[in-house]
Structure 1
Amino acid sequence: MRRSHVFILISSGDAFKDSRSEHQTEECEMQLDEVSEVIDLLQIDVESDVAEERPGREDAGCSRNVLRKQRNWERQLAAKKNKRREEKQRRRMNREQESGVSGDNPQFTKRVMKAITRERLAEAQFTGLKLCVDLSMTDSMSDKEVSRLAGQLRRLYGSNKKATRPFRLFLTDLREDSRLYRECIRMNDGFLNYMMDITEESCQDLFPPETIIYLTPDAEEALQTVDADKVYVLGGLVDESIQKRLSFSRATELSLHTARLPIDEYMVKKNNSKNFHSKILAVNQVFDILLTFCSTGSWTEALQAWFPQGKGYVITPEDSQPLPVSQTQT
């Protein structure tokens, strides 16, 4: 529109310059004035339209971008909420499976399960199998080894809490001024409220020596069964320097009967790149094996469930395993 009017202006100007008529000059000037006014009016309208339309288009563009970003943010927020909800539901289902609670038993709340656990542990104080952890050897351990032992005791107690038939636990030779005692309080929340016996006395001070069986990997006799009339002792020892026969020497010093887990009877060495094989287990690992054996009556199941694979042993094929204890005794 603007270009056409400018063209008229130029062409009209050239035509009127060639004319020497005064009348034609006046008419030309009048036409030029009219054309100029029209151009001015059109120019103002065009500029005003542009001025009015541009902000509108920018605002519309900005609005669409803002809306798009807002919708994306809302979708992300909804996805995060759904993920948190699913994660919460998954954790609740895991807790129910671990505690044996299902949706059909809504009465088993967390508080009820805690009360049931305390009742089981309290009953174990009178009827449970007895197990002591001998903590008399901690003076020969480094600070790092003491910390590891404190962690193992926490896991041992946690396994006992989950057991259907928990043991009655004793921590013997544990002095209040010892590094281990301080480390247990530091690392284990509620350690002083653990439902177990914590004493500075030794196991032979608490029980008749003939009832005590000290479990050590260096013993010659394999443990066949777990007897309610016996007291089983685990050596509370973490030894990264691998000082051999420490727990066995301790048991010999106390003139106690010794036994070992039946690893040789139910497991065989497995070939590995490092050619590494070890029967030395953490305190809590030995305890988990005993717990599983007491609940299943099977050393195969107990060892397969809790003997670490990195130790270089696997379960012996079934056709090579010894007969069950009940059959070997008959």
Structure 2
Amino acid sequence: MSSSDSCPPVTIDSNNETKTTSKISSGTEHLPQKDEKKGTNDIKTEKDGVGTDGDSSSITKGQADGAIQSGTEKPLSKNQLKKRRRYEKAMEVKKRRKEQEKEAKRAKAIADGRDLDEERRLQAEREKSGEGHKRREELWLKRMKTADTSFKICIDCSFESEMQRKEIGSLAQQIRYCYSANKRSKNPVYFSVSSLSGETHKQLSNVAGFPDQWVGRAFDCSEKSLLEMHTDKSKLVYLTADSENILDHLDDSKTYIIGGIVDRNRLKGITIAKAKELGLETAKLPIGSYLEMF
């Protein structure tokens, strides 16, 4: 090591005290300097402008802001972005359709000479007094009389362990559709769900009013098994496409079981195997007789 590398140059002031006058010129002044406000990974060379980790990909300000706001959340992939855009577009279409339907109803009401403002005022008064709720209950109970003499439907949710999370979400959504359609039907039937637990129950629990406002409206659900909810085997018919029996009429004394599966044809034969295990009668809907399958 030279003397210039071993100690800094000095000067002597009037009091014979030494002071450092300059730094050693060792070439380090040409290296990129670390910004004290940034981490070491923020240092970039003047040559190629890439980070010290060698990642040459650029990050936009929006992505950086998103990363800061979301903490450890990773940026969305191209596929995820496409799905998000499709969902947002579908929601926009749905919103426009609802607005168009609302406007069409309004135009029809005006053409029929109805006073919409007066109708809304009367409806608000009925809701405030509780008369509106009472009237809806009376109409519902009147329609419910048909369910007392009709066949019943039960969805068997004992296959959750065989399904993927996305499939379970689809199943929960279809149960909601079934309940909603049955509630609006002019001829509702008793509709139950057995073996309802785990993720399926968790997703349904996110729906407002479930299960307290559902139960008693031609609906029942339980974590109990199928035979615990419906003990008379002679009145149960398990619907499965693998059955050799074609269901050509509905028996009002029967409860028809639907396997709670959304499997995209992965789990073939699972429902008929379950029916045989339980010793239940099976049948399949006559879809092929009325629809052409491709």
TM-score, normalised via structure 1 length = 0.47
Q: 2:150–2:253: 8 Å Cα contact kept in structure 1?
A: no
Q: 1:211–1:231: 8 Å Cα contact kept in structure 2?
A: yes
**Which of the numbers 192, 197, 209 marks the counterpart of 2:220?**
197
Q: Secondary structure at the match of 2:256?
A: strand
1:262 deviates by 0.4
**Which of the numbers 190, 210, 215 marks the counterpart of 2:234?**
210
Rate the CA distance shift 1:121–1:172 in 2: closer, same or farther, 3 A. Answer: farther
Aligned to 1:265: 289
The yes-or-no answer on 1:182 pairing with 2:202 is yes
Matched to 1:265, the amino acid is S
Rate the CA distance shift 1:154–1:86 in 2: closer, same or farther, 3 A. Answer: closer
Matched to 1:180, the amino acid is T
CA distance in 1, matches of 2:154, 2:101: 40
- C-alpha RMSD of matched pairs (Å): 3.4
List alignment gaps of at least 5 residues for structure 1: 1-83, 96-101, 270-311, 313-330
Q: Matched residue pairs, number?
A: 177
The yes-or-no answer on 1:250 pairing with 2:274 is yes
Q: Could you report, residue by residue, the CA deviation over 1:95-126 in whole angstroms, capped at 9, with x for unpaired residues?
A: 9xxxxxx97xx8x9694673355325654664
Q: 1:121–1:161: 8 Å Cα contact kept in structure 2?
A: no
1:92 deviates by 5.6
TM-score, normalised via structure 2 length = 0.52
Q: Secondary structure at the match of 1:139?
A: helix
Percent identity over the alignment is 28
Rate the CA distance shift 1:85–1:241 in 2: closer, same or farther, 3 A. Answer: closer
CA distance in 2, matches of 1:94, 1:142: 46
In the TM superposition, 1:232-247 aligns within 5 A as: 232-240=256-264, 242-247=266-271
Rate the CA distance shift 1:244–1:182 in 2: closer, same or farther, 3 A. Answer: same
1:137 deviates by 0.8
**Which of the numbers 104, 110, 119 marks the counterpart of 1:90?**
104
Q: 1:120–1:166: 8 Å Cα contact kept in structure 2?
A: no
Rate the CA distance shift 1:139–1:94 in 2: closer, same or farther, 3 A. Answer: farther
Matched to 1:182, the amino acid is K
CA distance in 2, matches of 1:85, 1:214: 42
- Choose 1 or 2 for highest CA Rg: 1
Q: Could you report, residue by residue, the CA deviation over 1:241-298 in whole angstroms, capped at 9, with x for unpaired residues?
A: 62211111111111110101102222334xxxxxxxxxxxxxxxxxxxxxxxxxxxxx
Rate the CA distance shift 1:121–1:189 in 2: closer, same or farther, 3 A. Answer: farther
In the TM superposition, 1:1-330 aligns within 5 A as: 88-91=102-105, 111=132, 114-116=136-138, 118-120=140-142, 122-123=144-145, 126-175=148-197, 178-186=198-206, 188-192=207-211, 193-194=213-214, 195=217, 196-205=219-228, 206-240=230-264, 242-269=266-293, 312=294
CA distance in 1, matches of 2:284, 2:102: 43
1:224 deviates by 0.8
Q: Secondary structure at the match of 1:234?
A: strand
CA distance in 2, matches of 1:143, 1:90: 40
Rate the CA distance shift 1:85–1:128 in 2: closer, same or farther, 3 A. Answer: closer
1:173 deviates by 1.1
Matched to 2:173, the amino acid is G
Matched to 1:254, the amino acid is L
Structure ranking higher in helix proportion: 1
